[in-house]
Amino acid sequence: LVANGLGASIAQQGMLGIECVDYQDGAKRLAERADTLGVKISDYVLSPKSPAGVF
């Protein structure tokens, strides 16, 4: 629902699911990928030390 509301796409089938220690690093990496693709993307990060949630 969040992706639809923001007009976002997915970067690839199955999504990226970036693994990172700090969710902020993961968010930066996702933003860089979106810039490369030239579209807004919806994805997730796998960060065991970060709190759960949507950012």
- 42 in helix, strand or coil? coil
Is pTM beyond 0.85? Reply is: no
Strand partners, 36: none
Residue 27 and residue 10: Cα distance in Å, rounded?
15
pLDDT band at 25 (very low <50, low <70, confident <90, very high): very high
Residue 12 and residue 21: Cα distance in Å, rounded?
22
The candidate with the shortest Cα–Cα distance to 16, out of 39, 44, 38, 35, is: 44
Please provide the average confidence, as pLDDT, over all residues in the chain.
91
